[in-house]
Chains A and B, each alone.
Chain A
Amino acid sequence: NAGVTQTPKFQVLKTGQSMTLQCAQDMNHEYMSWYRQDPGMGLRLIHYSVGAGITDQGEVPNGYNVSRSTTEDFPLRLLSAAPSQTSVYFCASRPTQGTEAFFGQGTRLTVV
């Protein structure tokens, strides 16, 4: 049982480049979300989705896009990377009426 799988684990980007962080879950969870983790800031919600075709913004959405075409996948796109987007990114999923969030292993992104 893979759970929540994030790829890549590490990435270095140059300012202005774009890329997609992949997230896939095999638990048939409706709810998926993306967080960024920064020292002293905790986990901040970027975007979330309550089901295929439905997405919404979290507290720090600027510079990021998401889409949800299937229940399993929830990619996060950086449109034009900036040094301020250097962070560790976590994808999480949970069942609609469930309470426990299951996190991936994270993607450490550095923008130079």
Chain B
Amino acid sequence: QQQVKQSPQSLIVQKGGISIINCAYENTAFDYFPWYQQFPGKGPALLIAIRPDVSEKKEGRFTISFNKSAKQFSLHIMDSQPGDSATYFCAAKSGGYQKVTFGIGTKLQVIP
């Protein structure tokens, strides 16, 4: 069973546009929601993360929106650039030693 559902699996956005990736979860014990960015041939790296006590977190062009009641969160990439072309994973973790559960990933392509 997939504890974190991510969509879409692939996304093509024009340069300057907004990229939006959505995730939904079921386990209400999750208390940390990171997004990882992965470039081809590399391991994933933490991009931005949020805890459920806030509804939005912004770092530069990247924003996480979090809806606790709907158990959904999303990544918005403003003014998308070709250098943002990568695979993005949402994830969720509960406290302490608990495992991180990843979504299936979204392959983003930003075209000039």
Contact = CB atoms under 8 A, between A and B. Distances in A.
A58 B99 contact: yes
Interface in B1-32: 6, 9, 32
A58 B9 CA distance: 23
A45 interface: yes
Interface stretch (A11-19, A79-87, A102-110): A102-110
B104 A40 contact: yes
A55 B36 CA distance: 25
A96 interface: yes
A40 B49 CA distance: 23
B99 A41 contact: no
Interface of B: 6, 9, 32, 34, 36, 41-46, 49, 89, 93, 96-97, 99-105
